[in-house]
Structure 1
């Protein structure tokens, strides 16, 4: 594993409104929106028991809800040739109960330096990001979609108590995926790094992961060029976005040409997923 490959400075190394179960045939990983849309669906049964409030009934209800959520994730993941193990039941339930809406998700802070528009359409933004702690895991599976799914599940376990504090750490957006290409930007490496920004209250002293493959890294301050795009993320769509961004930039040579970031803000299985492609300015 490339232990130094997660940094925004572009040195190498290789992310994150769900529509509900009907989106399971889309491309990408499964994230919070899937769970929220599921838990808000009255037909899928959430919430407390009917009469009496017996402790045993409450426990049975909670266990049934855990099973439904796990099976929902497993159904979605199966479409991407991904296996969701039984041990993911608790992290999935915890993310659901702790994230009832987007207001609970911390946004990665940045300063907008400039932007470029054409005919009222935003072509790209130039932003600066400050030095910060990120939790990163590098995964290499047969497909890009498998890599980001398995990487995100490992980060979920870290976020949900499998850390030295034993506490739920809180969700942040976007989830980043660092990808590598050859210098001609024609092939994407299967090895990717999925990265999670530590919320502000954990930046000073990030809890240590119990998973030894998850690294807590200090990413240096960086300048990135970002372009929004909507839809699924896979090898084809990402390569198309890289080529489109390279044509739009006035001086693409100022950016790293073989390492890029996909920033995910909504469920990648959604047909209208909100994403960005990031080019990193050379240091």
Structure 2
């Protein structure tokens, strides 16, 4: 199996310490941005040859950072990830370039001024999806995301960077009692608006382009890491808050990630899908 590596929970927010990985940190697209302004512009105005050498140095620096962080999670970041990592860094520096998945807000439930959950409708659209099964839930997310990352960067029929959308979502499956998360995890990326009509085809045969139908979801925001324990806790919390949890699918849920989970202001959501 082709392997890259990271710990994925979505986009948004700032990255980790430039000197090395944060303790217990997980890396996402946004960790790359911690390098974008200072480290990627160190070269000044040298010759073309010098600039080429600097680009190679930047790729190596970013790759080694990812490798250092991933090693603590038993994940391998291979050498062929250097170029995709560099591409995402240079193409994803401005927040304005991140397209948010459009939705219609249907309802909000609050209690004592606290937002408990929202009810939203997401319209039909094309998603690029890959399902992984690794030894751990975190590894499944990691390796799936890295393959989606290659598709976003260049390994597609256009041979070009497609653009980033938020959130990146993972479909998780549980047992009926919501006590165990399956290691079969689907990582999904919503195609930007300009590619919805004619989605570029992936070179990776295990990445599937799917049309997800119009879907109503109940969503609750939470902060902190996204691992098996926190996901189970969030599923059970939202189930208790819903007036009629039986209207939702009971064994498949979505974790939506907007923010680097090593960041102090992390932004994640748990989504329940309303039955058709």
Query: Structure 2 length normalisation: TM-score?
Result: 0.92
Aligned equivalents of 2:81, 2:33: Cα separation in 1: 16
State how 1:262-277 maps to structure 2 within 5 Å: 262-277=255-270
Aligned to 1:49: 43
Per-residue CA distance 1:150-170 (angstroms, 9 max, x = gap): 111000100011000111100
Aligned to 2:184: 191
1:203 aligns with 2:191: no
1:72 aligns with 2:71: no
SS at match of 1:212: coil
1:232 aligns with 2:228: no
Of residues 11, 19, 22, the one that matches 1:24 is 22
Q: Alpha carbon RMSD of aligned pairs, Å?
A: 1.4
- Offset at 1:19? 3.7
SS at match of 2:67: helix
Contact 2:107/2:120 (8 A) holds in 1: yes
Per-residue CA distance 1:45-79 (angstroms, 9 max, x = gap): 3226346x211111111100010011111111112
Aligned to 2:6: none
Of residues 131, 141, 163, the one that matches 2:134 is 141
- Offset at 1:217? 0.2
After TM superposition, what 4+ stretches of structure 1 lie above 4 angstroms from structure 2?
none
| Number of aligned positions between the proteins | 264
Contact 2:120/2:216 (8 A) holds in 1: yes
The higher relative CO (CA closer than 8 Å, separation ≥ 6) is in 1
Query: Structure 1 length normalisation: TM-score?
Result: 0.90
Contact 1:27/1:232 (8 A) holds in 2: no
Structure 1: stretches of 5+ with no match in the other structure? 1-14
Aligned equivalents of 2:44, 2:153: Cα separation in 1: 29
SS at match of 2:52: helix
Structure 2: stretches of 5+ with no match in the other structure? 1-8
